[in-house]
Amino acid sequence: MSNQIDLEAANVNKEIQSSEELIHILNSCDVTVSTTDTKAAISLQASLQAVIALIVNIAIADSTKADTITQELLQTSKIKQQTVQKIVIDGSQNVDVTTTDTQIAANIQVLLQLLIALLVEIDVL
């Protein structure tokens, strides 16, 4: 029982995503600002993690060992992403500003690479 507690305590998956945006407009007119901030594709990430767990469980008959391996695999997908944007518009006219901040691609990419490596390892690909 203590092994399971230790394993759960060691399996802290840290994913930090933060974003700061400052748009300062001074002495300007006809300024249009459009911002997009996308931080989550939670369902896609959860689906990839579920597929990884399913493949490991199918490939390894021992469910305890399969759970341990799955936790170790998913534990490697730690991501920290930070974006800071500062835009100053001063003394301008007829300005269009568009900003896009997408912070999910790296984590999904890591999980996809992990899934492909796992499939290659068990000779599915």
Summarised one tens digit per residue, pLDDT across range 26-43 is 999 999 999 887 765 666
Q: Tell me if 37 is assigned to some domain.
A: yes
Q: Compute the average pLDDT of residues 2-7.
A: 40
Q: Tell me if 73 is assigned to some domain.
A: yes
Rounded CA gap, 100 and 38, in Å? 8
Which range has the top average pLDDT, 21-30, 46-55, 98-107? 21-30
Domain that holds residue 42: 17-121
Higher pLDDT: 104 or 8? It is: 104
- Tell me how many domains the chain contains: 1
Q: Tell me if 8 is assigned to some domain.
A: no
Rounded CA gap, 96 and 29, in Å? 11
**Residue 15 pairs with which residues in a beta bridge?**
79
Q: Tell me if 2 is assigned to some domain.
A: no
Q: Tell me if 25 is assigned to some domain.
A: yes
Q: Tell me if 9 is assigned to some domain.
A: no
Question: What pLDDT is attached to residue 88?
Answer: 92
What are the phi and psi torsion angles at 99 (to 5°)? Answer: -125, 145
**What tens digit of pLDDT does each residue of 70-117 get?**
777 776 555 666 778 889 999 999 999 998 877 666 677 777 888 888
What are the phi and psi torsion angles at 27 (to 5°)? Answer: 45, 45
- Work out the pLDDT band at 16, boundaries 50, 70, 90: low
pTM for the model stands at 0.46
Q: Tell me if 59 is assigned to some domain.
A: yes
Sorted by sequence, the CB contacts under 8 Å of residue 115 that are 6+ apart come out as: 48, 51, 52, 55
Q: Tell me if 1 is assigned to some domain.
A: no
